[in-house]
Amino acid sequence: MDFNRVDLNVDGAVATIRLNHPEVLNALSPEMVDSLQQALDAIAEAAPPVRCVVLTGTGRSFSSGANLQGRLQGANTNGKSAAGTLLETMFHPLVRRLRNLDVPLITAVNGPAAGAGMSLALLGDLILCARSAYFLQAFRRIGLVPDCGATWLLPRLVGRARAVELSLLGEKLPAATALAWGLVSRVYDDEALISETMKLARDLAGGPTRALGLTRKLYWESEGNSFEEQIDLEQRLQRIAGSTEDFREGVQAFLEKRPAVFRGC
């Protein structure tokens, strides 16, 4: 399924979204953000349901960040900078939607992930990298501040000192170093990235995806919760998970000493 600047492929219960504007290293234009929203609409309406989403790039880049041509330059008619306006009206709704997905999200970082592209990559529950990939907080190079959640995500993933260093110095962070810092989940040889990604995606899609979706919600909420708030949330979401068919199947399979067959419900 092709949208403007985005390709969507649904294979069984796995949906793969590919950013597709390789001529500009998959820079995030308003048209591409619109296409991402349309792809997510199609995923939400898919039958049978999608149970895992993969986000990656076409060509040699994941995403070089926001597209600086056209509407991103100058100011709008209200005197506000176009960069700030597009964050409010386009990028923030996308970031929030990816953060609030009900199913696991894998980001397969096939090449450079810079600026807002780095922020999108870091939204993955599993962040998988090609060995040649790198991350870049490119904002300082054009006189802007980090955005799309970077200043929330980075300190929690790598600590304040490293987050500030990446943002103030604007130096490339190679995939191997990102793995050593705990920023990403796994690093693969370039040619193996997508095949290994799909193995993990199919594994997640075949799992108890209601529970997996609730698990990703717990981890997102944990950063802002006190310990007492978090264990209360665990209790509430455990009640939901415990009422699913997958829970009953999991227990029955355990008692019968056989692999569970989860249906995501």
pLDDT in tens, 85-132: 889 999 999 999 999 999 999 999 999 999 999 999 999 999 999 999
Q: What is the pLDDT of residue 32?
A: 95
Q: What is the pLDDT of residue 77?
A: 46
**Residues comprising the chain, all counted:** 265
Instruction: Report whether pLDDT(2) > 60.
Output: yes
Strands 173-174 and 134-136: antiparallel
Q: What is the pLDDT of residue 75?
A: 46
Q: Is 261 helix (H, G, I), strand (E, B) or coil?
A: coil
Contacts of 65 (CB under 8 A, 6+ apart): 27, 28, 114, 115, 116, 117, 118, 138
Question: Domain 209-255 belongs to what topology?
Answer: Lyase 2-enoyl-coa Hydratase; Chain  A, domain 2 (1.10.12)
What is the mean pLDDT of the segment spanning 131-144?
Answer: 94
Domain with CATH 1.10.12 in the chain: 209-255
pLDDT in tens, 182-192: 999 999 999 99
Q: What is the pLDDT of residue 68?
A: 76
Instruction: Report whether pLDDT(78) > 90.
Output: no
What is the mean pLDDT of the segment spanning 63-84?
Answer: 66
Q: How far apart are CA 50 and CA 144, in angstroms?
A: 37
Domain with CATH 3.90.226.10 in the chain: 2-205
Contacts of 215 (CB under 8 A, 6+ apart): none
Return the exposure string of 124-140: e unless at least 16 CB atoms fall within 10 Å of the residue's CB, then b: bbbbbbbeebbbbbbbe
Architecture category of domain 2-205 in CATH: Alpha-Beta Complex (3.90)
Give the global pTM.
0.93
